[in-house]
Structure 1
Amino acid sequence: MANFNTHLNVAFMVSGTLSLTVYKAGLVDDSGFLMCAALGTIGGLLPDLDSDNSTPIKLGFNLISFVFAFGLVMHWRGELSLLALMVLWLAGYGFMRYVVFYVFTTMTVHRGVIHSVPYMAILGLALTYLSHDILHLPLTVSWFYGLFLFGGAMVHLALDELYSVNLSNMKMKRSSGTAMKFYQHKDKWWYLLLYVILALLLYIAPPFDTFWQQVSDPAAWAKLKLGLWPELIKGWLS
């Protein structure tokens, strides 16, 4: 399978190119462009959350542990002494970084249900719902956020499948088919749960048809066409 640097670099290049495209089409603003690029890159690392020794899971749990400890201190800052807050900070960080991390890595298997298309679709739809219905962001931006996260994850899975092909003698490796998967019989009950959650998220998701009407508006792509070439080249072409 592809290594961390490959996943990071390819996801960044793909998400950066696509986010620039929708930005030049006027579908997202400056902050939306940056968020789409970042979410696509993050999505490119998400499927390896089920790998106990992967860089994404270590970085992710370090960040989550820090945020959790910070939240505890901010919540109790007016009621506890400085010493108590220091103990709370260390205890909160240690609990997330070591206890929860141990439980998570014990319960997950690399290239298990997390390393699958429906799981990544759930994360993308959940982000879309959170952005629109909880954070009250615009519909188009919310859908782009979810789609970029999901798209980055698909880049990751596609890379893993590509690396499962031995190009020197054009044969499949044993890892072929374990990355871009929709179902595995040995995890049938987990997949049943995933598809139930996915169906629920599809039901409560913001209207996709409205988003699609905005994205397919010819005016946006006419604007993109006008800004496609530098002025000098456009002068040569005209």
Structure 2
Amino acid sequence: MAGYKEHISVSGLLGIGYGTISSLIFGFTPTQGILAGVLTWIGGMLPDLDSETGRPIKELFSLTAAVASFVAMRSMIRKGADPDAAILMAVVTYAAVRYGGSTILGKFAVHRGMFHSIPALIIAGESVFLAYVSDSYAVKFLMAGGISLGFLSHLVLDEVYSVERKGVIIRLKRSSGSALKWFGKGLFGNAVAYAILLTLTYITLVESGVLIPPRQAAPTIQTPHPIQQASPFKTTKRY
């Protein structure tokens, strides 16, 4: 299994390349390119949120909480909320992710469980797509692609380090196949992961305009025929 330094180094290099290419070739602004690169770097560390407690994990939770708080504050300001309320939301979001999230993961998450999986990668990308506030779908996809690329680099690197070579003999470690997977060992973890995945996928498809949610048809009001609109008090002439 690759170490913490290897993951942040690889995802950091990928982030530099991803941000540079998106700005120079695909026409995104330098600021957007830098943000996408930073998200790529962060994505390379996200799967280790389920690891044992330690200084790198605490730093990762702090970084994730800081990003989430800024996103929440930006979203509220964009919607016209009071600045004080936006700051309060940022503080609450930081505390919820930094302390609440770490406590929940510490009790329920299993290292190399569903956090190290393809569904978790998709969940991370869709979460960024929905959370990042922008009028451009291209920018939202850019940010989602950055976090997904970094996340993928972590999974691939773990699989690469699960191959052990001794001379001409190559063998797989016990950790082989535990990163790039679609299902984990626990039924509860699989059920939770796929429930979140299906929910976010539906919301993402609706948000991007790919899927149109069914709407309740408005009741039709039948207007009476002109003949039926005659007043019941109208009398006919008698000759």
Smaller-chain TM-score range? 0.5 to 0.7
The one-character-per-residue Cα deviations of 1:175-198 (angstroms, maximum 9, x if unpaired) are 000011111353342343244224
Matches within 5 A, 1:208-227: none
Which among 192, 195, 198 is matched to residue 196 of structure 1?
198
Shift of 1:26: 3.9
1:123 corresponds to 2:124: yes
Farther off after superposition, 8-17 or 192-201: 192-201
SS at match of 1:183: coil
Residue 35 of structure 2 is matched in structure 1 by 35
SS at match of 1:18: helix
Number of residues paired by the alignment?
A: 189
**Structure 1 residues 61, 22: closer, same or farther in 2, change over 3 A?**
closer
The one-character-per-residue Cα deviations of 1:33-92 (angstroms, maximum 9, x if unpaired) are 111110100000001111122555311333538x98xx9xx66x9xxxxxxxxxxx9xx9
Question: Following the alignment from structure 1 to structure 2, what is the Cα–Cα distance between the partners of residues 17 and 95?
Answer: 32
Are 2:50 and 2:109, in contact at CA under 8 Å, matched by a contact in 1?
Answer: yes
Question: Following the alignment from structure 2 to structure 1, what is the Cα–Cα distance between the partners of residues 191 and 94?
Answer: 33
Matches within 5 A, 1:15-30: 15-30=15-30
Are 1:43 and 1:148, in contact at CA under 8 Å, matched by a contact in 2?
Answer: yes
Shift of 1:205: 4.0
Are 2:18 and 2:33, in contact at CA under 8 Å, matched by a contact in 1?
Answer: no
Residue 60 of structure 2 is matched in structure 1 by 60
**Structure 1 residues 46, 56: closer, same or farther in 2, change over 3 A?**
farther
- For structure 2, list consecutive stretches of 5 or more residues without a partner in the other structure: 74-83, 211-239
Question: Following the alignment from structure 1 to structure 2, what is the Cα–Cα distance between the partners of residues 20 and 56?
Answer: 27
The one-character-per-residue Cα deviations of 1:128-181 (angstroms, maximum 9, x if unpaired) are 1222xxx23422111010011011100000000000001332111110000111
Residue 111 of structure 1 is matched in structure 2 by 112
Q: Report which of the two structures shows the higher radius of gyration computed on alpha carbons.
A: 2
Are 1:51 and 1:57, in contact at CA under 8 Å, matched by a contact in 2?
Answer: yes
Farther off after superposition, 199-208 or 148-157: 199-208
Question: Following the alignment from structure 2 to structure 1, what is the Cα–Cα distance between the partners of residues 94 and 139?
Answer: 33
Question: Following the alignment from structure 2 to structure 1, what is the Cα–Cα distance between the partners of residues 98 and 44?
Answer: 23
Matches within 5 A, 1:39-50: 39-50=39-50
Answer 1 or 2: which has greater helix percent. 1
Are 2:45 and 2:60, in contact at CA under 8 Å, matched by a contact in 1?
Answer: no
SS at match of 1:171: strand
Amino acid at match of 1:159: L
Shift of 1:100: 5.4
Shift of 1:101: 2.9
Question: Following the alignment from structure 1 to structure 2, what is the Cα–Cα distance between the partners of residues 97 and 130?
Answer: 18
Question: Following the alignment from structure 2 to structure 1, what is the Cα–Cα distance between the partners of residues 150 and 95?
Answer: 31
Question: Following the alignment from structure 1 to structure 2, what is the Cα–Cα distance between the partners of residues 20 and 130?
Answer: 23
Are 1:122 and 1:197, in contact at CA under 8 Å, matched by a contact in 2?
Answer: no
Residue 228 of structure 1 is matched in structure 2 by none
Question: Following the alignment from structure 1 to structure 2, what is the Cα–Cα distance between the partners of residues 10 and 31?
Answer: 21
Comparing both chains, which one has the higher relative contact order based on Cα–Cα distances under 8 Å and sequence gaps of 6 or more? 1
Are 1:118 and 1:182, in contact at CA under 8 Å, matched by a contact in 2?
Answer: yes
Calculate the aligned-residue CA RMSD, in Å. Answer: 3.2
SS at match of 1:157: helix
